[in-house]
Amino acid sequence: MRGRDSEVGRAGVIAVVSLLGAWEMLGRLHLSMFVPPVTDVAVAWWRLLGNGTLSKAASSSLLSLAKGFGPAAVLGVVVGLAMGRFRTVRYLLDGWVNALMSAPLSALVPVLIALFGIRDTVVAATVFMFSFFVIVVNTMTGVRGTDRSLVEMARVFGAGEAALFRRIYLPAALPAVMLGLRLGAVQAVKGMVVGEMLISLVGLGERLIYYGNTFLITELYAVIASVLVIALLASQAVQAADRALVRWK
Amino acid sequence: MIVVALRGASVVAFLLLWEWAARVPISFNFPSPGATLTALLALLRSGALLTATLTSGQSLLLGMGAAVLVGVPLGLVMGVVAPVGRVARVYLDLLIALPTAALIPLVILSFGISVASSAVIVFVFSAPFVTMNAYGGVRDVRPRLVEMARSFDASWGQLLARIVLPSALPMILAGVRYALSRAFVGLIVAELLLSPFGLGRLIMTARSMFEHDRMFATVLWTLLMAGAALAGLARLEARWLRWRA
Amino acid sequence: MAAPGLVPIVVEGVSKAFGAVRALVDINLRVGAGEFLSLIGPSGCGKTTLLKTIAGLLPVDAGRITVGDRTVTGPGRECSVVFQDFALLPWATAQRNVEFGLLLRGVPAAERASTARQAIAKVGLAGFEEAYPSQLSGGMQQRVGLARALAVNPRVLLMDEPFASIDEQTRRLFQDDLLRLWSEARKTVVLVTHSMEEAIYLADRVVVLSPRPGRVHEMLDVPLSRPRESSDVRATAEFARLVDDLWKILRKLQ
């Protein structure tokens, strides 16, 4: 639940390289069809990329990701700010937000399908659902964690509600907002995969189901690897934005 | 007072919105709250819902049990033996960032369609969080307490049992609770995909037969069950951790 | 005696409660124009609450506070506050922090920058304009806080235990600087403190508040001559006697 920076240090490189090495060796022994050599997976990945399968699936996935995460980020921050600042809004919504944040939202995907039909809109909606609440909660926590004496200080200098928001609450909440967006981005990719697997129509999720059903293990691993890369890139992108915006820490 | 009124008002507003959406209707597949409740009662009376809940609960208990049994000791070792922690942490970070649902087809291929494969999926969804929090809990143990115990000549076992484990317990339990919420997500995706049993199957059957009131009822029930389980765990946690007050 | 621009503060029959806790009961107090007044008392005596009501940060339940001709109903332009925890914006440099009050009052950017630079120089922090609060020591952070309060050229300076989180040596130097700045540009000052030496060393008059409920218990004049900052006032018998008098008053309140 807490944001942890993945260590890109030496230990990280050693760990990943040795995992891939061990995997490759196990794979070469042909112990099990579920452990194909890493090189085979890489070859499959290259082939899928070359014949357009992967890029077509990935672009559909990324589009759904953007269509779901964009609104979730904007709305999540707005709702979070309002909940943090105004008690009325908080009491109206906090029960729902807390319950839905830890709820198995995957159960709602069939409801989305009932509403929208089997379409990629369902994927975007799932992405939204998965990422929205964590953004709201982190933003709200950030606003509520604003140092009270900063607020008093600004009021002494005559700050009204708008100035308080712009000059105190917003900058004070920014680190928490960025953390929420990072956790939200990770959740969004999870929502994307879940949504696509359940509608089984487009994107990388559909490929996962397809290769699973057709026993194409190496291709399956190639898609899993692509999904992992997208998840890491999404989290890194938000982290880069975070570093650019929050320099004072 | 006002708090209760506002929270109540938001529930009422939600139900009204739902009723309105069903009356419009925004979709032909959209049952009203009343119809959903009727379907829920019927499903409960027929026993279908309880059977499915028990099946799902079985996978959940097996998977979560394994996650705790593996994750907690692993996290403790990672925390105590620093080099192990540094390396294993990288894998955990990757597992936590990975959309775990992507592994479901692989698990189904390996374990077949069975309660066991649902349990494995629950395990895969939850174990990384249990482990990570156990690791974090050990790393957050106050060095001053360890020094204190050592000054009393505590043995390794005593140190672990009397200082490290109690100190790490709050984080471990928080990890278990978060892991449970993730486990529900995974379990339901798996059941929706596998469809031979559990609550997921009930949802999918209702959907394929266009019985949307029954589908909504089962989804609602699933969310309520998950909420109840998480709230129960939170209460248990609060009882065990009374000293934190 | 009152120089132009100096205003008195009058507190008449002020009461303030938080739920069942009576923080202030029927407080009557007059701070003369240009006077330096210390508020002291055991914890829970409502001294910070009184300061916040004068600043307009807390509404009073009964009674009236006037600063100059203005009845206090909210924060006003005459007052600046120095906070115990400094209340610096962690995301802004020292320069930006000092400019903050001017910014909220709509002062144009160029004027803001030069006024702030002067204020920073006055509190002895020239060269640290671009430092972030996290890069400054506690004493330096509070100097930024003081510079920010002075930059808007207030007639009234309200200080809430400004030196409480600063170590002893730094505190003494800072107190002398404060007295020097005050004698250069007189203001009406109300200082909340829990240090008897500080209350006496800085103020013209010390007001002792009693706790639960907060009332004005006693007032103590401080007839020590000024300027005090360059002489060894603390070493005089008169200073010791005043501290002892204050201690006798406070001891009865415990």
What pLDDT is stored for residue B110 in this prediction? 86
Q: CB pairs below 8 Å between A and C: how many?
A: 58
Cα distances (angstroms) measured from residue A120 to each of A62, A101, A130, A152, B206? 11, 23, 16, 49, 22
- Cα–Cα distance measured from residue C163 to residue C156, given in angstroms and rounded to the nearest whole number: 18
- % of chain A at pLDDT higher than 70: 95
Q: In what order do the strands lie in the sheet with C62-67?
A: C21-31, C9-18, C62-67, C70-71
Instruction: Please tell me the distance in Å from C75's CA to the nearest CA on chain A.
Output: 5
What is residue B195's predicted lDDT score, i.e. its pLDDT? Answer: 62
Amino acid at A58: A
Sort B157 into a burial class: Cβ within 10 Å, 0-12 / 13-18 / 19+: exposed
Per-residue pLDDT for C104 more than 50? yes
Q: How far is B49 from chain A (nearest CA, A)?
A: 15
CB pair distance less than 8 Å for C81 and A153:
yes
Quickly state the pLDDT bin for A247 (edges 50, 70, 90).
low
Task: Give Cα separations from C119 to B74, C115, C125, C128, C163 (angstroms).
Answer: 57, 6, 9, 12, 19
- pLDDT in the model for residue B136: 92
Tell me: the pLDDT tens digits for A194-222? 999 998 888 999 999 999 888 899 999 99
Distances in Å between the alpha carbon of C13 and those of A112, A185, C28?
64, 57, 5
Please give, rounded to a whole number of angstroms, the shortest distance from the CA of A157 to a CA of chain B. Answer: 32
- Average model confidence (pLDDT) across chain B: 87
Which pairing describes strands C36-40 and C205-210: parallel, antiparallel, or unpaired?
parallel
A7 pLDDT above the threshold of 60: no
Chain C: nearest CA to A15, how far in angstroms?
35
Calculate mean pLDDT across residues C151-179: 91
pLDDT, average across residues B188-210: 82
Q: Quote the pLDDT of residue A248.
A: 63
Residue B90 makes CB contacts below 8 A (sequence gap 6+) with A6, A7, A11, A12, A15, A16
Residue in A95, A110, A114 nearest the CB of B10: A95
Exposure b/e, A58-89, CB count within 10 A at least 16 = b: bebbbebbebbbebbbeebbebbbbbbbeeeb
From B26, B98, B185, residue closest to A106, measured CB to CB: B185
Interface of B with A in 149-168 (CB under 8 A): none
Token representation of residue A114? 């009932």
Edge-to-edge strand list for the sheet holding C205-210: C79-82, C156-160, C188-192, C36-40, C205-210, C215-221
CA distance A30 to C241: 93
Answer yes or no: do A1 and B7 touch at CB < 8 A.
no
Of C79, C83, C132, the CB nearest to A248: C132
d(C-alpha C135, C-alpha C129), whole Å: 11
Cα angle at B86 between B82 and B90, to 5 degrees?
155
A11, pLDDT greater than 80 = no
Q: Which residue of B has its CA nearest to A11?
A: B87
- Is residue B94 within 8 angstroms of chain A, CB to CB? yes
Categorize the per-residue pLDDT at B207 as very low, low, confident or very high, splitting at 50, 70 and 90: confident
Which chains share 3+ C-beta pairs under 8 angstroms with B? A
Mutation site for C-interface testing, chosen from A146, A151, A153 by largest number of C Cβ within 10 Å: A153
Burial of residue C14 (CB within 10 Å: 0-12, 13-18, 19+) is: buried
pLDDT at position C149, please?
A: 93
Q: Which of B177, B185, B213 to mutate to test the interface with A (most CBs of A within 10 A)?
A: B185
Confirm if C196 and C244 have CB atoms less than 8 A apart: no
Our answer on whether C and A touch (3+ beta-carbon pairs < 8 Å) is: yes
Q: pLDDT at residue C148 above 70?
A: yes
- Which helix (DSSP H) or strand (DSSP E) does residue C70 occupy? strand C70-71
A248/C152 CB distance under 8 A: no
The Cα angle at residue A128 between residues A136 and A139, in degrees rounded to 5: 15
Q: What is the pLDDT of residues B82-126, one digit of tens each?
A: 888 888 888 898 888 889 999 999 898 888 888 888 999 999 999
What is the Cα–Cα distance from A93 to A219, expressed in whole angstroms? 44
Give the model's confidence band at A34: pLDDT under 50 very low, under 70 low, under 90 confident, else very high. Answer: confident
Per the CB < 8 Å rule, is B6 touching A208? Answer: no
With touching defined as 3 or more inter-chain CB pairs under 8 Å, the answer for chains B and C is no
Nearest to A156 among C79, C90, C134 (CB): C79
Judge if the upstream peptide bond of residue C213 is cis by omega within 30 degrees of 0. yes
Report the gap between the CA of A143 and the closest CA in chain C (Å).
14
**pLDDT tens column, B61-78:** 999 999 999 999 999 999
Which chain A positions have a beta carbon within 8 Å of C87's beta carbon?
147, 149-150, 152-153
Is residue B24 within 8 angstroms of chain A, CB to CB? no
* Residue A135 clears pLDDT 50, i.e. is over it: yes
Cα–Cα distance measured from residue A103 to residue B230, given in angstroms and rounded to the nearest whole number: 9
User: Which of A11-25, B225-239, C21-35, C98-112 shows the lowest mean pLDDT across its residues?
Assistant: A11-25
pLDDT level of residue A6 (50, 70, 90 thresholds) = very low
pLDDT digits (tens, 9 = 90+) for B137-193: 998 888 888 888 888 877 888 888 888 888 899 999 999 999 999 999 999 998 888
Phi, psi of A208, deg, nearest 5: -60, -50
